[in-house]
């Protein structure tokens, strides 16, 4: 067992013990290493000022460097990672990197506070796409996690478009050498366990057996994955209520759980697999889910957040849940006693309350790829297009034959204490002709009448009902347009 976190920052090895392991990466960089180019504004993953690149290997994939929010990631999550900060971007001779040059020459920086974050996010894009100029839409999508208070977005996009592929220098290739990678991998193979009096304890097992044994021995510990929900709570000092064990067991180093597979029409997602990995895997197999994930948080969040974190968090406005309900997903819970698959609509027993035993860990989610006769759609409605929490989410899965619905699954989020299936509406849809506008209209009205959502800061009960009915109408219109195309 190890009791120190090992990582590299800008090509240099760091080994952290005790208190430092619990610090956020932004605090460690700024206060311990004096790498103050990484800025902190919101401290909750929303603005991207703190963006750095983090390189990690997965059990079934090579090293990948992705933008991450340094303000909510804890050092202990970075064990075995290579962090690249803005200080490493300029060339060793002091000349600017091509992305920095383009930002300067296109006036992409005004007060400059957001600029290091934008440069790092842009660099992340070009590290993966070094051979072609930026596609404006693609880069705008990639920068959804970066806010500029001086509203310099157009010059920033101009800068991205002005980056000349032939002049790009890979920071990863310069700093992430083969010997470094080998040394880092060797140093972090063993599981990690760190306990600090008054601060807490963290266990990072590397095998599923070890995870289940730890869970059995510590049923009061908190299971964590990407820490994007918990990281914000830590920053806001709410994570460990008085009297709780202050003990976290993380799944993110368990190799058996770090995978997304699509095999014989079934997608299986391990508890340690990130939403970014899921998005990439679904591009061809379940494109509608990939489309939904494009408006999930930001690339920075998706590089660490997991599907299982979203499922286990159990929020009634968790974006993936209506989609998983409509897809008929199942969630695997494991303990030393064995494994069982729970239909996702049986997992939630109340507001953020899950039907799992104290010794169980959620280990995998699986669902079938919609077949040729099926249609699957997922909608997220929020107040702004990017990086916003859902107001209402809805997903529909249906099978049809000769223009008539033969089977339907309908799920809504944001209209009750949990995401829910609507069996009465599903029954009404069965046997309905897709072309029968009047019937769909009547069912949409019934759907609205069947819901009793609450009014809150985001909107009124009435708005939620109208929106819910209109999402069904929108789905029906899209179906009709598809059939007549
Ligand atoms: C800036 C920002 C934007 C966001 N945007 C969105 C958004 O657009 N849509 C959305 O739905 N959410 C959003 N979120 C919330 C969050 O990112 C997601 O819920 C994410 O999927 C959580 O995954 P995680 O791996 O980070 O979970 P963690 O924070 O590690 O854990 C979340 C919860 O799940 C539990 N848990 C984790 N893994 C397991 C397991 N294997 N077994 C049992 N319990 C487990 C933890 O104890 C915790 O209660 C956002 C968060 C931030 C900070
Ligand atoms: S400081 Fe805003 S995302 Fe980290
Ligand atoms: S340049 Fe001022 S916040 Fe972006």
Give the whole-number percent of the chain exceeding pLDDT 70: 96
Q: What is the pLDDT of residues 453-476, one digit of tens each?
A: 888 888 889 999 999 999 999 999
Average pLDDT, the chain: 93
60 falls in which pLDDT band (50, 70, 90)? low
The residue whose CA has the least distance to atom 4 of ligand 3 is 148
The residue whose CA has the least distance to atom 3 of ligand 2 is 45
Question: Could you identify the residue written with the tokens 């009404």?
Answer: 428
Distance 159 CA to ligand 3 centre (A): 14
Domain boundaries, the chain: 4-87+175-250, 92-168, 258-484
Closest residue by Cα to residue 447 from 420, 435, 434, 465: 465
Residue 34 has pLDDT above 90, yes or no: yes
Beta 82-84 vs 4-9: how paired, if at all?
parallel
Residue 334 has pLDDT above 50, yes or no: yes
- Give the long-range contacts of residues 396-401, CB within 8 A, separation 24 or more: 396/326, 396/472, 396/475, 397/326, 397/327, 397/328, 397/370, 398/374, 398/429, 399/371, 399/373, 399/374, 399/375, 400/373, 400/375, 400/434, 401/373
CATH C-level class of 92-168: mainly alpha
Nearest ligand by distance to the CA of 386: 1
Predicted TM-score (pTM) above 0.85: yes
The residue whose CA has the least distance to atom 14 of ligand 1 is 297
Sheet holding 82-84, edge to edge: 12-17, 4-9, 82-84, 51-58, 61-69
Residue 484 has pLDDT above 80, yes or no: no
Nearest ligand by distance to the CA of 48: 2
Q: Which range (13-22, 52-61, 100-109, 255-264) has the least confidence? A: 52-61
Closest residue by Cα to residue 254 from 207, 301, 297, 209: 207
CATH C-level class of 258-484: alpha beta
Instruction: Tell me the mean pLDDT in the region 22-36.
Output: 96
Residue 230 has pLDDT above 90, yes or no: no
The residue whose CA has the least distance to atom 6 of ligand 1 is 297
Residue 160 has pLDDT above 60, yes or no: yes
The residue whose CA has the least distance to atom 18 of ligand 1 is 310
241 falls in which pLDDT band (50, 70, 90)? very low
Please indicate whether residue 109, judged by its CB atom, sits closer than 6 Å to ligand 3: yes
Q: What is the pLDDT of residues 391-433, one digit of tens each?
A: 899 999 999 999 999 999 999 999 999 999 999 999 999 999 9
Residues with CB under 6 A from ligand 1: 44-46, 222-230, 232, 251, 271, 296-297, 301, 305-306, 308-310, 312-313, 318-319, 361-362
| CATH 3.40.190.10 applies to domain 4-87+175-250 | no
Distance 113 CA to ligand 3 centre (A): 5
Distance 42 CA to ligand 2 centre (A): 5
Residue 481 has pLDDT above 60, yes or no: yes
């Amino acid at each position: 067992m190890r009791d120190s976190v090992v990582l590299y920052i800008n090509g240099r090895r760091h080994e952290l013990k005790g208190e430092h392991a619990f610090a956020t990466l932004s605090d460690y960089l700024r206060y311990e290493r004096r790498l103050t180019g990484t800025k902190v504004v919101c401290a909750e993953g929303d603005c991207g000022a703190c963006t750095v690149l983090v390189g990690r290997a997965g059990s079934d994939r090579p090293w990948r460097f992705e933008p991450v929010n340094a303000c909510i990631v804890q050092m202990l999550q970075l064990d075995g990672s290579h962090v690249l900060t803005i200080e490493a971007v300029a060339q060793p001779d002091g000349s600017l990197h091509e992305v920095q040059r383009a930002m300067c020459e296109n006036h992409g920086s005004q007060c400059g506070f957001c600029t290091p974050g934008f440069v790092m996010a842009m660099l992340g894009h070009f590290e993966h796409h070094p051979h072609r100029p930026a596609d404006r839409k693609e880069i705008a999508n990639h920068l959804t996690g970066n806010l500029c208070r001086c509203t310099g977005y157009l010059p920033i996009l101009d800068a991205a478009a002005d980056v000349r592929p032939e002049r790009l220098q890979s920071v990863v290739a310069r700093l992430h050498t083969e010997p470094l990678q080998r040394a880092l991998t060797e140093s972090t193979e063993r599981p990690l366990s760190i306990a600090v009096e008054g601060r807490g304890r963290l266990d990072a097992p590397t095998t599923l057996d070890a995870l289940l044994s730890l869970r059995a021995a510590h049923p009061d510990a908190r299971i964590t994955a990407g820490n994007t929900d918990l990281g914000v709570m830590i920053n806001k000092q709410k994570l460990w209520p008085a009297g709780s064990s202050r003990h976290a067991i993380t799944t993110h180093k368990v190799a058996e759980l770090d995978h997304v597979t699509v095999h014989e029409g079934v997608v299986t997602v391990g508890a340690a697999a990130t939403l970014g990995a899921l998005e990439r895997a679904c591009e061809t197999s379940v494109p509608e889910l990939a489309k939904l994930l494009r408006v999930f948080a930001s690339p920075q969040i998706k590089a660490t957040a997991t599907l299982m974190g979203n499922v286990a968090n159990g929020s009634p406005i968790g974006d993936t849940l209506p989609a998983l309900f409509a897809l008929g997903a199942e969630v695997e819970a494991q303990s030393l006693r064995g494994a069982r698959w729970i239909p996702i609509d049986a997992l939630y027993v109340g507001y953020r309350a899950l039907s799992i035993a104290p010794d169980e860990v959620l280990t995998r989610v699986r669902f079938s790829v919609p077949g040729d006769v099926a249609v699957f759609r997922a909608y997220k409605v929020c107040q702004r297009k990017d990086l916003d929490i859902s107001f209402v989410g809805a997903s529909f899965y249906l099978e049809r034959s000769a223009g008539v619905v033969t089977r339907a699954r309908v799920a809504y989020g944001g209209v009750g204490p949990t995401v829910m299936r609507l069996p009465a509406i599903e029954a009404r849809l069965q046997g309905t002709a897709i072309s029968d506008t009047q019937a769909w209209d009547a069912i949409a009205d019934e759907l609205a009448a069947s819901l009793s959502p609450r009014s809150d800061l985001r909107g009124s009960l009435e708005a939620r009902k109208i929106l819910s009915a209109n999402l069904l109408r929108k789905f029906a219109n899209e179906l009709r347009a598809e059939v007549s195309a």
